[in-house]
Amino acid sequence: MVSGMHVSYQVEYARRARSAGPPIGFVPELEGLDVEPAALQVPAIERPRERMMTFGPAALSNVELIALLLGGGHSEQRALTLLQQVGGITGLLRCVPDDLLAAPGVGEASATAVCAAIELARRIGQIEMPFESSIHGPEDVRRYVRASLRGRSQEVFVVLGLDSRQRVRLVREVAVGSVSHVEVHPREVFRPLVRAGSHSVILVHNHPSGELRPSAADLRITHRLVELGELLGIPVLDHLIATDDGVASFVGLGLLPAPASSPEECG
């Protein structure tokens, strides 16, 4: 029963035997019930839930998908307001439940459901790491990199340790910084690689600002790590910069030479 709802009924009884079911002339009047009048007029096939069941999730807009997570009355209106308040889907990726609670009509259940869905999507993307396949270029790890770092509000530095066949055998987050900078210590970069017996490494870090171009600091630390990698026998194959919109490769930009050897040539 909905608390605070006042329901009055006007019932007219026909002067004949009552049949099974509602009385003839039954007219409910709902006062104070939180119901979307438009929803009563919209054909079922145009509602988000029915559209997903019929056409699949790809047929729904971002607002409709969020509305399904929010649930309840006026869900599409609340979903639209929420997206506008946080800066769209990209902004939603960086939100925690407390951020969503600031939006009108969003409670703890809805806020945690949305954040859980975002985290689940991120983890599904991480499954795309081709652990059993040789890495031939940035395209092979692009989806994993974006899924892992997308929506992070701080710069994060990650190393991908590869074996002699250039298969990923180690993924380690070695530094976390601020929104525009991360302090990277070479010993923290190579310590897990040495312990794991890595044959080579791909460096990865994100730019929450959305700028794909490497900064001067990025160039300095990369060349320093390249030199140290040569001394340790763990060459740096590439350095990838990830944003919410894409991934840039130092090799692809001509800032690092392409690896001289292929996986087939490695022992």
Please name which of 134, 138, 160 lies closest in space to residue 263, comparing C-alpha atoms.
134
Class of domain 6-124: mainly alpha
Please name which of 235, 241, 242 lies closest in space to residue 257, comparing C-alpha atoms.
235
Superfamily of domain 138-265: Cytidine Deaminase, domain 2 (3.40.140.10)
- Tracing tokens 């145009």 back to the chain, one arrives at 46
Q: Can you tell me the distance from the alpha carbon of 140 to that of 132, in angstroms, rounded to the nearest whole number?
A: 12
C-alpha dist (Å) from residue 242 to 52, 63, 133, 149, 188 = 32, 26, 22, 7, 20
Q: Give the start-to-end residue ranges of the domains of the chain.
A: 6-124, 138-265
- Tracing tokens 């794991």 back to the chain, one arrives at 196
pLDDT value at position 180? 86
Beta-strand pair 27-31/156-162: unpaired
Q: Can you tell me the distance from the alpha carbon of 210 to that of 247, in angstroms, rounded to the nearest whole number?
A: 10
Q: Can you tell me the distance from the alpha carbon of 85 to that of 91, in angstroms, rounded to the nearest whole number?
A: 9
Give residue 184's identity as a one-letter amino acid code: V
Q: Can you tell me the distance from the alpha carbon of 136 to that of 125, in angstroms, rounded to the nearest whole number?
A: 19
* Strands (DSSP E) found in 27-117: 27-31
User: Which of the residues in the chain have pLDDT under 50?
Assistant: 1-35, 38-39, 262-267
The answer to whether 162 and 202 are in contact (CB under 8 A) is: yes
pLDDT value at position 73? 83
pLDDT value at position 45? 66
Q: Could you tell me which residues are beta bridge partners of residue 172?
A: 159
Question: pLDDT tens for residues 7-61?
Answer: 443 433 333 344 444 444 444 443 444 445 544 566 766 788 888 898 888 889 9
